[in-house]
Amino acid sequence: MTELFCVQVALPVPLRQLFDYRLAPASAPATVGARIRVPFAGRELVGVIMAVKASGTVAPEKIKSAIELLDPEPVLPADIVQLLSWAADYYHCPIGEAIQAALPVLLRQGEPPEYQQDPHSRYWQLTPEGQGLPDQPLRKAPRQAELILYLREQGPSRWQDLKTAGFARDALKRLCERQLIEPTHAPRRQFSPQAALPLNEDQRLALDNIDLSKYNTYLLDGITGSGKTEVYLQAIARTLEANPLAQTLVLVPEIGLTPQTIRRFERRFDEDIVTLHSGLSDRERLNAWTKASDGSARIIIGTRSAIFTPLRHPSLIIVDEEHDGSFKQQDGFRYSARDLACLRAKNLGIPIILGSATPALESLYNARRQRYTQLKLRQRANQQAAPRIQIVDSNECAPDRSITDFSMNAIRRHLDAGNQVLVFLNRRGYAPTLQCYDCGSQVLCPNCDARLTLHQQPRHLHCHHCDYQSPALTRCSNCNSHKLLALGSGTERSEELLARELPGTDIIRIDRDSTRQKNSLENKLASIKSGGPCVLVGTQMIAKGHHFPDVTLAIILDVDSGLLSADFRGPERMGQLITQVAGRAGRAQKPGEVILQSRTPEHPLLNLLVQQDYQQFAEAILTEREITLMPPYSHLALLRADAPNAEQALHFLQGLRIFSDSLPHDPALQVLGPMPSLMEKRGQRFRYLIQLKSTSRGLLNQHLQILAHHISELKPHRNLRWSIDVDPQDMS
Ligand code: ADP
Ligand code: ZN
Ligand code: ZN
């Protein structure tokens, strides 16, 4: 028997346990949150120490030796380890996988947690001579002058961004020769401070009500354009006044982290600001992470996974657009970054602000129960009138026309006035259905329970669920008729209709297909922002995050898809989308108009939204949820399984159901299923689910724990995939 250290390690493997290793009592002591390299099943893995049994008398032959301790200091501080342990429990995710999701790739690979210049990230910036040029520089070289002014305005920029902005290599080269600009790996920040705006009454009240000295959750419920961002900025400023080292973590939706957003923060604070998002290289991510972790960055702006960033002096958390679906991870470690942000703030004893023009029903419910402090901003900060919203009956439309005459006339009116129009349709491609006129059969995907979408650019059939593609048919495979009809409209067909009816008008389509090429989205956005009448037709991609000052009319073509959706959150999502799109219309000095095309124009919820506002609409849905006992009046979890063989997946869940029923019965827990998923077959796999619902969070969690444990003992077949989704956002 020898005296030795025994550590319990979380490893990136799909097993719900920690692994014991021994560590020679070496120079550096092992600490929780430090990484360690260990042998595992013939490989070497990097894990994180979750517990240290200081010294024990364990038979050395019983446990394996670790290879090396990688960190003398923990890379994950105690609060992050605590948050991850809690989340792994709550979301029933193996702890090793949860930790994996929180660590930057380079740390997972064993690299040191240090800031290092990225040789691949090269910026162009003004030299001191370049900065010293007069306001109207280089009159004889207008392109070079433009580039100087651009760099002065935007700060150090990558070649990629300069190219997008329309600059040529030549101008760059000339300026470099004249020593007016220079390449750099470590750009100098050129700070051009922008003063805080004098707050309006609502904003001042909201800001004064935020106690920055202790934990509390604030729901900043402010209509679009009411100046929520200004409130965030001034809250951060107050935090920094109280403590110059204070760090603020700002979470934004995936689509919300635009250069404009970042610039608003950079203009206000002469501080180190870092961003964390999927567009970074591994090195850039680690660098940003390091600056957050060692305390040198004051403001950390990031998407979902940034919630796990260690902070040396955490002082404030902000979640912008807190209702956004992208805060919930949809696979693997299925956490909600918004919910974890609330928990982290509580654990740290710091305030958190959740901001939205269309708060999630869960958040409104928490505000109503006084768990959150609701702060309302009800006036547009720039004194602008709210847009007028109308519902138009789309039943009168011919089946191959997606836009009613009423809408088309409105479009003409707005274009004639020199304005821009936004047409929103959440369906890409030409037509969602190809049907035989003679026998009525539809062209289906061979891998999914779904119809193939017809695309025309280029012409082919495409499954939007599994990506299956085939040449467009010319004859029905059932009866050989050549009369195949394209039914319904996607963005391509709407674009075609608009081009036909509005000859000479710029029609700009923005969807996943039209923006596949690098920079094509940026180019399209730039041409819209440069002004001039045009019609923008697009999917979800145009509904969020972008600011189009010249759009005065917004038309939503398919509100029914959300209102009549099989997902109980459908109406909530549609209400949020309509309100957000409406907020885009007429944001600048021009009044806006919104048209909703619906086949159920009498729908009470739709009318409530239009005649009242999102508040009243949300109240009505909350009442419905209360009656049907759906979230937030109950808690949900889904147990999903899928396999290439239907029997296999179904059998697995049936077995679980029987096991579940054999446990002591509690009437507060309701188990439904197994039942087929909304799309039973998808990508050659058959999908089923069990729904668990309870008014008691504890009961649900406990039940899931027992089920998860049972499943790991069952050791399901390799072909079968299963998952637990707690607080699912997507019910399919
Ligand atoms: P939100 O985030 O609520 O949609 P923003 O913060 O983007 O709103 O503000 C909308 C516009 O109003 C911005 O152009 C902003 O500069 C301006 N604004 C915000 N607060 C004020 C204020 N107190 N006075 C004048 N303009 C303001
Ligand atoms: Zn046919
Ligand atoms: Zn398919």
Atom of ligand 1 nearest to the CA of 224: 4
Residue 490 CB neighbours (<10 A) = 25
Task: Give the number of other Cβ atoms within 10 Å of residue 160's Cβ.
Answer: 12
Nearest-atom index, ligand 1, CA of 228: 3
pLDDT the model gives residue 159: 80
Q: Tell whether the torsion through CA atoms of 251, 253, 257 and 263 is positive or negative.
A: negative
388-430+489-625 has CATH 3.40.50.300 classification? yes
From the CA of 437, the nearest ligand is 2
The SS3 assignment for 479 reads coil
CATH number, domain 635-726: 3.30.70.600
Among residues 430, 434, 405, which one has the least CA distance to residue 495? 430
CATH of domain 2-108: 3.40.1440.60
Place of tokens 């940034």: 306
What ligand is nearest to the CA atom of residue 320? 1
Buried b (16+ CB within 10 A) or exposed e, 351-360: bbbbbbbbbb
User: Which residue has the CA at smallest separation from atom 11 of ligand 1?
Assistant: 225
Rounded distance from Cα 443 to ligand 2 centre (Å): 10
Rounded CA-CA distance 375/359 in Å is 12
Specify which residues 377 forms β-bridges with. 222
For ligand 1, pick from 264, 382, 589 the residue to mutate: most ligand atoms within 8 Å of CB. Answer: 382
Q: Which of 677, 567, 576 is nearest to 631 (CA)?
A: 567
- Residue 254 Cα to ligand 1 midpoint, Å, equals 21
**Gap between the Cα atoms of 678 and 164, Å rounded:** 41
Percentages of the chain per state (helix, strand, coil), in multiples of 5: 35, 25, 40
State the distance between the two ends of the chain, measured CA to CA, in whole angstroms. 55
Q: CATH homologous superfamily of domain 201-377?
A: P-loop containing nucleotide triphosphate hydrolases (3.40.50.300)
List, in order, residues 6 or more apart from 373 with CB less than 8 Å away: 209, 216, 217, 218, 219, 367
The count of residues in the chain is 732
- Name every protein residue with a CB atom under 6 angstroms from any ligand 1 atom: 197-200, 203, 222, 224-230, 381-382
Rounded Cα–Cα distance for residues 415 and 65 (Å): 73
DSSP letter string, 91-117: TT--HHHHHHHHS-HHHHTT--S----
Q: What one-letter code names the amino acid at 124?
A: W
> Which one, of 158, 183, 221, lies nearest residue 353 by Cα?
221
Show the tokens assigned to 404: 């009613």
Ligand 3: centre distance to CA 514 (Å): 21
Please report, for residues 140, 277, 431, 512, 515, the alpha-carbon distance to residue 492 in angstroms, rounded to integers and kept in the order given.
45, 31, 8, 11, 13
CB atoms within 10 A of CB 619: 15
Mean pLDDT per 10-residue section of the chain, whose length is 732 residues: 75 91 74 94 95 67 85 94 96 95 95 82 83 77 84 80 80 88 76 85 96 97 92 97 97 81 88 90 93 96 96 98 95 96 98 97 96 93 79 87 94 93 93 94 95 94 95 91 93 95 92 80 78 88 75 90 87 91 72 91 91 91 95 97 96 96 92 94 96 96 95 89 95 84
In order of 205, 230, 474, 584, the CA distances from 378 in angstroms are 12, 14, 56, 16
Ligand nearest to the CA of 207: 1
Give the mutation target among 202, 226, 230, 353 for probing the ligand 1 site: most ligand atoms within 8 A of CB.
Answer: 230
In the chain, how long is the greatest CA-to-CA distance?
89
**Rounded distance from Cα 242 to ligand 1 centre (Å):** 25
- Residue 476 burial (CB count, 10 A): 21
- Side chain identity at residue 500, one-letter code: R
Considering every ligand atom shown, identify the ligand nearest to the alpha carbon of residue 482 and give its number. 2
Return d(Cα 1, Cα 384) in angstroms, integer: 78
DSSP string for 641-657: EEESSHHHHHHHHHHHH
pLDDT of 60 reads: 61
State residue 422 phi and psi, 5-degree precision.
-115, 125
Q: pTM, whole model, 2 decimals?
A: 0.90
Cα separation of 543 and 554, whole Å? 10
Ligand 1: distance of its center to the CA of 209 in Å? 19
The residues, any chain, with a CB within 8 Å of residue 77's CB and separated by 6 or more, are 33, 293, 310
User: What distance in Å separates the CA atoms of residue 168 and residue 150, rounded to the nearest whole number?
Assistant: 13
Contact 586, 552 (CB under 8 A): yes
Label residue 385 exposed, middle or buried (CB < 10 Å: 0-12, 13-18, 19+). exposed
